[in-house]
Structure 1
């Protein structure tokens, strides 16, 4: 038995040793809608890695070994209220886990709208999200990705960003463009974990709304960034997971988005667990939500059968 375990361990070690990690900037030179002010981002590690004041947005690409790759890729947006990025807890850790399933994980270090270097802060997270998806398609052949199997995964405010790019993937701002911009920014599917969806009063996460669009935003802006109001028949199939006892982001956010998807005939899978709180991440040791990732994998496999 010990010999068998040792052989399996060595095989797994060899398999993951073949995995690769790449870091690429999203933009060449100074990113669009940003001034070069010499500001520096800050990374703080207190249990988890928190990144603030992102100045050089990038993607960190985790590639499974070639033997394992399924062709799927997931572009990941960590949460943090549009003020910080919970970069490992809701980013790197999930990318590495996806690698064990043969899925490419792409963590996005997107710019946060409270940075003083931004010229139109509300547009910047979406712009970075669109770019990350386009870059995944641009490198699809190199990274052995099927360009029709690129999804997004977002947590909390990252879930808001994932839902925004899922409903506003064609939104444009005035900027210089390159060959990557010719590619589609539409995700093929969306995974939203305890997402901020609505900026309307009853369901709004006030911190995310304030940080993205300001304290005194117009009704037009509030509606534009309320995901449930922007769903169309072209919005990608979506998996939603939330805990009933979430005190940070009310479960109504997931309900609203699910109802909007259902009304437009978009395939959607909603999973509400009785406990888990906000920010449960993997769900390990959090009771009912502990197994949500297994449910997610089954859903992702079902996409191939449709």
Structure 2
């Protein structure tokens, strides 16, 4: 296998489900963060480790951005390269955003794309030297909401099966959620993510469906949680609620809360306190079979 980014592949080889043709164009703006909006062609950027250090584990990364943009490098490619260098195959998902006018049923599109990504990686596991039972998902902020939505709704048919891989399980083998949006109901819900995902006046049914703490059960994947207590964007109560439910039903869960860090800190390489989270996660992933 070569190093750095090996390839980027489209998720859907034929027409993209739940999407109509419009004049809308994808937007990418680069300052300190590469922000991608109006995703029209969802893709998977693949980062394979050298054979000599390959752990045969894999992780699919969902960048955050309030379901309006994707913080593609901060919470995507930078993280993927870190794992690649340590023997874990990493995939950055460029998923469709529900603010796009190209979508028929906007709130379904992100979960459709993540379900497809897990099935695609599982289908390609042998070719890519990955264990088909060691494929996790990781998400930051709204990407953490997407990852946790898959963790509790993986078994639901979100699109019509078309090819062989669509018959495979979309259940991730583990989850890592970084300062995640979890609930859509409580006082600590993130209003921007609710608005972008569900629109101006969502029904109570939709608010409940995407309040992921309500759907945790014993089959929810083992989970690693990270949050800063002083997060004013997505309050730490989101992570606490998910942790409590996982604990109640006996799902293996590890949680790390930092006193300071705010929201959207990414890998936090230059922060002497926060930077420890990714090493803790790496060790947890390597030992997940023992939990």
Structure 1 residue 115 corresponds to structure 2 residue 100 = yes
- CA deviation digits over 1:199-225, x for unaligned, max 9? 113121001011111121111111100
Contact 2:34 2:71 in 1 (8 A): yes
Cα displacement (A) at 1:17: 6.0
Which residue of 1 is the match for residue 40 of structure 2?
55
How far apart are 1:285 and its partner, in Å? 2.7
State the partner residue of 1:270: 255
Shift of 1:301: 1.9
Q: Does 1:250 align with 2:259?
A: no
| Shift of residue 18, structure 1, vs aligned partner | 4.3
CA–CA distance in 1 between the matches of 2:125 and 2:56? 9
Q: Secondary structure of 2:53's match? A: coil
Summarize the Cα distance change of 1:91–1:20 in structure 2 as closer, same or farther, 3 Å threshold.
closer
Whether 2:162 is the aligned partner of 1:177: answer yes
- Partner of 2:52, secondary structure, is coil
Distance 2:3 2:186 in 1: 49
1:176 Cα deviation after fit: 5.0
Determine the structure 1 residue equivalent to 2:176: 191
2:5–2:45 contact (8 Å) kept in structure 1:
no
> Contact 2:17 / 2:159 at 8 angstroms: preserved in 1?
no
Paired residue for 2:131, among 127, 142, 146?
A: 146
1:28-79: CA deviations, max 9, x gaps?
Answer: 2331000011321011001110000000001001011111110000000000
Match of 1:210 in 2: 195
Report whether the alignment pairs 1:106 with 2:91: yes
Q: Does 1:305 align with 2:290?
A: yes
**Match of 1:137?**
122
After the TM superposition, which residues 22-171 of structure 1 pair with which residues of structure 2 at under 5 Å, given as runs?
22-171=7-156
1:173 Cα shift?
Answer: 3.4
Conservation of the 8 A alpha-carbon contact between 2:112 and 2:159: no
Point out where structure 1 has 5 or more consecutive residues left out of the alignment: 1-15
Q: What is the SS of the residue equivalent to 2:24?
A: coil
Aligned equivalents of 1:121, 1:288: Cα separation in 2: 38
1:294 Cα offset (Å): 1.4
- Secondary structure of 1:115 counterpart: coil
Equivalent residue for 1:227, pick from 187, 204, 212: 212
Single out whichever of 145-154 and 292-301 deviates more from structure 2.
292-301
Q: 3-state SS of the aligned residue for 2:246?
A: helix
Deviation at 1:95, TM superposition (A): 0.5
RMSD: 1.3
Compute the TM-score of the two structures, normalised by the length of structure 2. Answer: 0.97
Determine the C-alpha separation between the residues in 1 that align with 2:4 and 2:202: 45
Q: Which has the larger radius of gyration?
A: 1
Separation in 1 of the partners of 2:185 and 2:46? 35
On the 8 A contact 1:135/1:180 being kept in 2, the answer is yes
Structure-2 change in CA distance of 1:185 and 1:287 (3 Å): same
**Unaligned regions of 5+ residues in structure 2, if any?**
none
Aligned length: 291
